[in-house]
Amino acid sequence: MERARYRQSDLRRMVLGVRAIPSLFIALTSYKLLAVLLFMETFLLPGTFDVGGLAFPTCTLLFLACALVCLAFAILFRRLTFHDRGWYLGLLTACLLLGLFLLLLRELGGIGNTALAAACRGLGITLVAMGLIGAHIEEARIMGALGMTHTLTFGVSAAFAASLLYLALTLLPMPQGRWAAAFVLPLVFAASFWRAQQEVYRSPRTRYEEPEAKVLVPYRFIATSVAQGIAAGLLVALACAGGQFSPAWNVAGYLLAAVLTLATMLMCKLDFNRSVYQIGFPLVGLGLLCAGIAGAPLGAPGAVMQVTGFLYLDLVLWGLGSYLIKNCRQPATWVAACPTTSLMAGRTLGAVLGAALLQLLPAGFGWNTLLCASAFCFVMAALLLSNAANLRTGWGFVRPGGPDDGANAHRACQIVAEDFSLTQREFEVLRRIVEGESRADVAEALFIAPNTVKTHLHSIYAKLDVHNVRDLRAYVNNRRRSFSPSSENEEILENDA
């Protein structure tokens, strides 16, 4: 019975994982849909503002506010210890709703005084940024408690659902439908996320506590997030100067990103280094290059590839963040705030530079030059940032050290045990079998009968859907490569040490 229960395809496992905590799936879906509405559409902050004779997208102000709020979280994360208080989630929801109300009031022309209207917009943007970033960090915290595989599973599922709901929203009148969704989604998120917290944290095995270890500044992760943000900022600049960004491209990009993440991370088990720099970055660069060559900055193929690459990077980096929180014992607030600060700063920089260059470059020359140059920069960034040491040092979050296959194998066994709910005894058997011990050696070391070892192994086989020791070791080795140097790079790393 147990073997029949656990022998399922990756897709079926994903469905069962989501069904286990449906409230978390609803919370993530509502947050992702809200993020798409606020960050990839312009109804919230339409138009432009002038600085030095140049017009910049008004939504750049929201990106900047999010970057500053996130920076404050990163700097003060040791002092922000109220995340587990019952009122905190309500406060974040209230910030979002009040901020949206102030922005809507200004858009409806309810404030006649110009200075008061500007102050209303500034306060509204600040409150929305505080609510969004706070919710984002709490999502990272709960995902860190669940682990990498569950994070990718819920992320892919929520991306599918959010894309379909966004498609339904496009059928509603503009902008009334968008505003209605923007006010409803925070309430849905708060109710479902509160329920998810009760379900996840009631288990001592997943209860999260901020570790007190000294943290490092993850320069490589920051550089990766800045490059990712610039890609999104360029899209905003192009939409501002070249016409409305089609909602259908957002839908197609989300669906393709979800499929790509499912195929590369959950099925093929690619490591983070390859997923980020050999798939995500080149996909964004290819989209920019196609748009530049075609001379159509918001043409469908180029735009869809850019959105797909950006959202794929977002899903993969969510999985990496949960691994760093759970398995490397990094503080959730620090892990979530550092890259997000860089991402939002990159978005701001991309939107500002893109809008400025498109107005300063000669007519008929700006589009192609900017897009092709950006594509080249992304390819170069992928080459410079791609390094096997990323996996060994957690992109700068973990203090570097020499490659240690034994330690990596032990960590891989821990991840597998957590993801598949292995008992403590099953974990001990798994670890020793992966290290090369025979059944007899395991039985002698653990002071149990050989038949008991056999029983534990069969239980592990059923849960992992493998058939023998060789498959078991291969599975754990694949998981180890998700965060350790690949074999072809180990010699280089040893020489560098």
Distance between CA atoms of residues 26 and 239, nearest Å: 30
Please tell me the predicted confidence (pLDDT) of residue 342: 93
Please tell me the predicted confidence (pLDDT) of residue 407: 55
Instruction: Write the CA distances from 91 to 36, 44, 349, integer angstroms.
Output: 22, 21, 30
Find residue 48's DSSP bridge partners: 57
Asked whether residue 165 falls in the same domain as residue 308, the answer is yes
Please tell me the predicted confidence (pLDDT) of residue 32: 93
432, 433, 437, 443 alpha-carbon torsion, rounded to 10°: 70
Distance between CA atoms of residues 125 and 94, nearest Å: 13
Domain extent, residue 166, equals 2-396
Asked whether residue 291 falls in the same domain as residue 171, the answer is yes
Asked whether residue 384 falls in the same domain as residue 409, the answer is no
Distance between CA atoms of residues 365 and 432, nearest Å: 63
For residue 87, the domain's CATH number is 1.20.1250.20
Task: Out of 355, 372, 396, pick the residue that ends a domain.
Answer: 396
Name the token pair of 458.
């069969």
The pairing of strands 54-57 and 48-51 is: antiparallel
Asked whether residue 388 falls in the same domain as residue 448, the answer is no
Contact call for residues 415 and 479 (beta carbons, < 8 A):
yes
**Residue 397: which region, alpha, beta or left (left: phi > 0; alpha: psi -120 to 50)?**
alpha
Asked whether residue 34 falls in the same domain as residue 113, the answer is yes
CA 368 to the chain's CA centroid: 30
Asked whether residue 310 falls in the same domain as residue 443, the answer is no
Task: Out of 374, 396, 418, pick the residue that ends a domain.
Answer: 396
Please tell me the predicted confidence (pLDDT) of residue 296: 56
The H or E element that residue 55 is part of is strand 54-57
Asked whether residue 294 falls in the same domain as residue 410, the answer is no
Asked whether residue 32 falls in the same domain as residue 118, the answer is yes
Asked whether residue 239 falls in the same domain as residue 157, the answer is yes
DSSP state of 278: I
Q: What is the DSSP string of 118-181?
A: HHHHHHHHHHHHHHHHHHHHHHHHHHHHH-HHHHHHHHHHHHHHHHHHHHHHTTSPTTHHHHHH
Asked whether residue 347 falls in the same domain as residue 453, the answer is no
Name the token pair of 65.
């506010």
Please tell me the predicted confidence (pLDDT) of residue 346: 92
Name the token pair of 175.
């902008």
Q: How many domains does the chain have?
A: 2
CB neighbours (10 Å) of residue 278? Answer: 15
Place of tokens 């990766």: 224
For residue 411, the domain's CATH number is 1.10.10.10
Distance between CA atoms of residues 146 and 418, nearest Å: 8
Asked whether residue 39 falls in the same domain as residue 128, the answer is yes
Per-residue pLDDT tens, the chain, 497 aa: give them. Answer: 434 444 444 566 666 667 888 999 999 999 999 998 888 777 888 888 888 888 888 889 999 999 999 999 999 888 877 777 889 999 999 999 999 999 998 888 767 788 888 899 999 999 999 999 999 999 999 988 887 878 888 999 999 999 999 989 888 887 888 999 999 999 999 999 999 998 887 755 445 556 666 778 888 888 888 988 888 888 788 777 665 567 777 788 888 998 998 888 767 767 777 788 888 888 888 877 776 676 555 556 777 887 888 889 889 889 888 888 887 778 889 999 999 999 999 999 988 988 888 788 776 665 666 666 777 777 677 777 777 667 666 677 766 444 444 556 777 787 788 667 788 888 889 988 988 888 888 888 888 888 999 999 999 988 888 888 888 888 888 777 655 433 333 332 233 33
Asked whether residue 308 falls in the same domain as residue 431, the answer is no
CA atoms within 13 A on the CB side of 374: 37
**Residue 307: which region, alpha, beta or left (left: phi > 0; alpha: psi -120 to 50)?**
alpha
For residue 51, what are the contacts with CB-CB under 8 A and spacing of at least 6? none
> Is the N-terminal amide bond of 403 cis, ω within 30° of 0?
no
CA 76 to the chain's CA centroid: 22
Place of tokens 């999260």: 208
Task: Out of 396, 422, 455, pick the residue that ends a domain.
Answer: 396
